[in-house]
Amino acid sequence: MAVSREQKTQAEAEIDIMRHSTAHVMAEAVQSVFPEVKFGIGPAIENGFYYDFDLPRALTPADLSVLETRMAEIMAADLPFVRQEMTKEEARGLFAAQPYKLELIDGIPEARVSIYRQGALVDLCQGPHVSSTGKIKAFKLLSIAGAYWRGDEHHPMLQRIYGIAFGSKEALSQHLKMLEEISWRDHRKLGVELGLFSIHEEAGPGLVHWHPKGAIIRQVIEDFWKDEHFKRGYDIVYTPHVAKAGLWQTSGHLDFYQENMYSPMDVDGQEYIIKPMNCLGHILIYKTKLRSYRELPLRYAEMGTVYRYERSGVLHGLSRVRGFTQDDAHIFCRFDQLEEEVVGVLNLARFMMETFDFTSYRIFLSTRPEKFAGSDEMWEEATEMLRRALVRQKILYDVDPGGGVFYGPKIDIKLEDALGRMWQGPTIQVDFNLPHRFDASYVGEDSREHQVVMVHRTVLGSMERFLACLIEHYAGAFPVWLAPVQVVVIPVADRHLDYARKLEVELRSERIRVKVNARSESVNSKIRQAQLEKVPYMALVGDKEVAASTVSVRLRRGEQLAAQPFGSLKEMVKTAIANKAEGAY
């Protein structure tokens, strides 16, 4: 039973057509500026479109506004899109000067192809298109980027122009506002502003330094994570950061994963390699004794820090780095336990996602690729178990045919954040390969040895990427349980400082993260500082509070609460922490 999640609505399909047509208009504009242009492809994408061009010179941002003006003229002229069918031979004649189009024609299986004309442009295109260029309502060109022809780095690099297009000016400006919001929430920007982490040129790109405020968030999450894993029958393990090269030879990583691994270091004449994955250590632990079917499943979990070489051009803040800590676990089980284990992981994954306020996500089941390890039957059965686990959890999912890794089928969960963007979330991967390579087995009921089934899984992904996601999801305003500073005490004047310290001690005794702002600044200024730091509770103490033994509370979202005794603030904060829910946005 295949459960597919969504079909495009009629309206979405229509707007895609319009976006595609906008790409053609852009192509015409480019052609008018660069008559010698060679066209690549120009599809509609989410929110807009792009088109790839081979041009005599590099485009500059200034070119974009010229092209926009030209495009607006083409739209004002309301030129009709005209479809025409012809044989491939005729098309080859028509596109004789267009090598990329010729290559595309060669790849089309049908005998006849279609072309579209509008104004001065002729383009090989399946269509459909809007009836005329005047039907395009609102667009904007956003950026220029290099893109390999057909995405292959051995092919020439073309210049890609990205644009967005919408059904109305309002929708366009709304989207532009969203883009602004996205850049405003950027974890790299907020990470600096909130003092969470830094990355240093001197230390190397893609290597993260967690500052106290970022580290406390991470620590809270890790404590919570360990707790939850303990409850669910996982055992916490620790494994070394380096291992002899031979181990990576046995695992096959040296053959298949080498471009992501750092060069070996010499230790007493032996080659050692920094681990890019945690699985091998867990396998070694598994293999330390003869395992009985009775002790399975074994679930080894580790916040395991790994190092992977990433090409310099792909590094990005916390979300794509060279050293990161995975919330990793490996489940060793019998084949007949696989489905139940996957159900367990899905449960945990959903619990985690809910805890961090991700209410929407998409699930992908990836099936057998062309090259694979293990037997057909194993794959089929395992894939079926993953499928059944999803169905049992009543989860809608999409199938990614052939999208599995070579060693087994997998389930990927992609999270949707507060701005509707997707992030790689939990993954569950069945592995037939490593147990085979390491001869990891157990003794079955039949007294015979059986190969154990291994499941790699992470529910947060990596602490680095997860934090990047959380920072942007919460826009830096972390819920109380995660907020680096939960309460700032603000004395109105210096004479209230002692009283403020008393409140600080009282809150700290409950392990509430509290700071006193003792600076000689105005109340307004201290409140502003706390707001910018996105501290959930501001506790004001002045003459009135000292006299009445109370505290006035301002919430991060701006709300002011009536003066109250210390105790009730304490309880309010403790409740918010315990609920992990937002109490003070």
Task: List active site positions.
Answer: 279, 308, 326, 328, 330, 410, 456
Query: What order do you get walking across the sheet with 270-274 strand by strand?
Result: 242-244, 270-274, 265-267
Among residues 441 and 486, whose Cβ is nearest to RNA? Answer: 486
Q: Angle 497-508/566-579 helices, nearest 10 degrees?
A: 40
Phi and psi dihedrals of 221, rounded to 5?
-65, -45
CB of 58 to RNA, least distance (A): 4
Half-sphere exposure of 533 (CA within 13 A, CB side): 22
Cα–Cα distance, 369 to 383 (Å, whole number)? 12
Half-sphere exposure of 265 (CA within 13 A, CB side): 8
Which value, in Å, is the radius of gyration of the alpha carbons in the chain?
Answer: 29
CB of 282 to RNA, least distance (A): 16
Among residues 122 and 584, whose Cβ is nearest to RNA? Answer: 584
Provide the 8-state DSSP code for 560. B
Residues with Cβ within 8 Å of 419's Cβ and at least 6 positions away in sequence, in order, are 178, 181, 182, 185, 472
Among residues 146 and 401, whose Cβ is nearest to RNA? Answer: 146
Cα–Cα distance, 11 to 521 (Å, whole number)? 55
Residues with Cβ within 8 Å of 347's Cβ and at least 6 positions away in sequence, in order, are 393
CB of 331 to RNA, least distance (A): 16
Among residues 333 and 490, whose Cβ is nearest to RNA? Answer: 490
User: Do 438 and 283 form a contact (C-beta atoms < 8 A)?
Assistant: yes
Among residues 75 and 535, whose Cβ is nearest to RNA? Answer: 535
The contacts found for 179-182 with CB under 8 angstroms, 24 or more apart, are 181/419, 182/419, 182/421, 182/472
CB of 174 to RNA, least distance (A): 19
Q: Write out 450-488 in H/E/C secondary structure.
A: EECEEEEEEEEEEHHHHHHHHHHHCCCCCCCCCCCCCEE
User: Do 19 and 171 form a contact (C-beta atoms < 8 A)?
Assistant: no
Among residues 113 and 411, whose Cβ is nearest to RNA? Answer: 411
